[in-house]
Amino acid sequence: MKVAILGFGTVGSSVARILCDLKPEGLQLSHIFNRGVARKKVDWVPAPVVWTEDFDEVLRSDVDVIVELAGGLEPAGSWVRRALEAGKSAVTGNKKLIAKHGVELDRLARSKGAHLLYGAAVAGGIPVIPGLQQGLAGDRITRIEAILNGTCNFILSSMEAGAAFADVLREAQQLGYAEANPSEDVDGYDARAKLVILSRIALRSDIDVESVACRSITEVDAVDLVYARDLNCTIRQISKAELRPDGVSATVGPMLVPLRSPFAWSRGTENMVLLSGKYGGDVVFSGHGAGGNPTAVAVVSDLISLAHGSKAVDLPSRAAQVSGEFEVRHYIRFVVQDRPGIVAEIAGALASEKINIDALFQRTGYEKGNLPFVVTVEPCAASALRRAIDRIAHAGWLAQPPLDMPILGE
């Protein structure tokens, strides 16, 4: 099976290296496509491999499968579509493309007798997608909880150890974990695309990526990790989706996780996916979710599957409505200019939405004009809590907007 790699960056070069070093049976690297390809050439790639910056040259060749690793919706989407239309199979790690157009591209591949595999699109080198399509296809998955972005996990686990957000972000950028513009990671869009893909395969629910609410981890301050510890918790960016009778509840954002939870053990760029099945119970996938080599392993594994006649298991999904509602406990951090009556006003706003206070935490040593304290509340709907917080959003004693985060159940 002749293979063309589209995009010779960090992952693309790692895929080529594995193919050249391991020489997997049934696979032959034949083309490498990249813009300005001359600057990409390396001496360890075999001489017969064609280096090109002309995609049409790849398409006209006798290549059997293209490996799309350029990323983004376009022109990557056009390359994949044209390859499938020509009857060539495609392997990709492009989570944006699969989240938005995966159903359409799957249908196109089947109509042309080709295959589309994307095991590298979620959690890098962790075999979550193959595990769902084959190992868990016999179960009915009802809930997904996951750490799907290694950059956010690196930042938050470093902050847990005492580092400042800006310093850790700069380090993540220097190490290549975060882009110069980190919004895709820290604001939750990267994890959201991966959650949509998992929901399609695990929950058999096709949800619109734009309809899943995201919260940024930039709102998390060092004081939140201090108070989280008082609650026997830490903070992680969690992607969560759950089947409901009328659709799917889904959200991405920072959440408090109990220290006894497996998510609290995840450090650095590790990813972790917990799937809850109706019959098989909970299953956890964990490992390196980022980096050229782990992601390349997933890509090459898909290629080996194709070379040996395997194909993706067809798990039909249905369009589903998305809600952000989860009835869970919440952590609310207020920073105030201290004066009498503040707690009573907060309690009144919460009571107006029938939300009960669980506990109140106030550490000493902070200035009265900039005093942080925390209220935790019993399980309530996110929409009700938002209405209660909106009632006090313009109070004169607020020094900054309140921050609320769900508390993940154990």
Which among 217, 135, 139 is positioned nearest to 182, based on CA atoms? 217
3-class secondary-structure state, position 373: strand
Task: List the one residue out of 271, 278, 272, 274 whose CA is nearest residue 243.
Answer: 278
- CA-nearest of 134, 275, 107, 122 to 197 is 122
The 10 Å Cβ neighbour count of residue 185 is: 26
CB within 8 Å of 41: residues ≥ 6 apart: 51
Structure tokens at 124: 């890098």
| H, E, C per residue of 121-149 | HCCCCCCHHHHHHHHCCCCCEEEEEEECC
Q: Report residue 137 as tokens.
A: 């296809």
Query: Is 194 one of the catalytic residues?
Result: yes
| Omega before residue 75 within 30° of 0, cis | yes
Taking Cα atoms as reference points, which of 143, 145, 140, 142 lies closest to residue 279? 140
What is the 8-class DSSP label of residue 205? E
Q: In 3D, which of 37, 83, 350, 228 has the Cα closest to residue 92?
A: 83
Question: Which residue out of 40, 95, 194, 240 is catalytically annotated?
Answer: 194
Q: Which two tokens mark 177?
A: 């974990």
d(CA 23, CA 145): 37
Give the angle subtended at the CA of 54 by the CAs of 53 and 58, to the nearest 5°. 110
Contact, 153 vs 265, CB < 8 A?
A: no
For 216, the token pair is 């940024």
Q: In this structure, how many other beta carbons lie within 10 angstroms of the beta carbon of residue 194?
A: 25
Dig out the tokens for 301 from the structure. Answer: 């594994």
DSSP 8-state class, residue 267: -
Find all residues with CB under 8 Å of 135, minimum gap 6, and list them: none
d(CA 148, CA 287): 11
Q: Which active-site residues does the annotation give?
A: 194
